[in-house]
Amino acid sequence: MKSTETEKQQYARVKELLDISHQRYLAAGGEPKRTHSGLPGEDFLTAVEREELVKLMRLLAGTRVIADEVHCQGRVWKVPVLEAKNENLP
């Protein structure tokens, strides 16, 4: 499958955001031969950068979230919606 010019730009932006994250990790004293976890709060990205990265990765992977459903590679599944007051995560 050929990448379109838009996809190439999106991949380049993903790489740029990951490079920014890694540089911030190193500046914070991280080990150069290791990588950070990438979890929110441990990814060294701002909230805006993280949101952009997630959107780009979903686009490139063909994953869409519509209401309470995830659509990916021809499959659809529901995401459980929890009320913060009444239910706790398992």
Nearest residue to 67 via CA among 85, 57, 54, 81 = 81
Q: Facing residues of 64 across strands?
A: 71
CA–CA separation, 45 and 73 (whole Å) = 28
Per-position pLDDT tens, the chain of length 90: 456 898 899 999 999 999 999 999 999 998 888 877 777 777 899 999 999 998 999 888 888 888 888 888 788 989 887 655 555 545
What H or E segment, with its residue span, contains residue 63?
strand 63-66
Instruction: Please state the pTM of the whole predicted model.
Output: 0.66
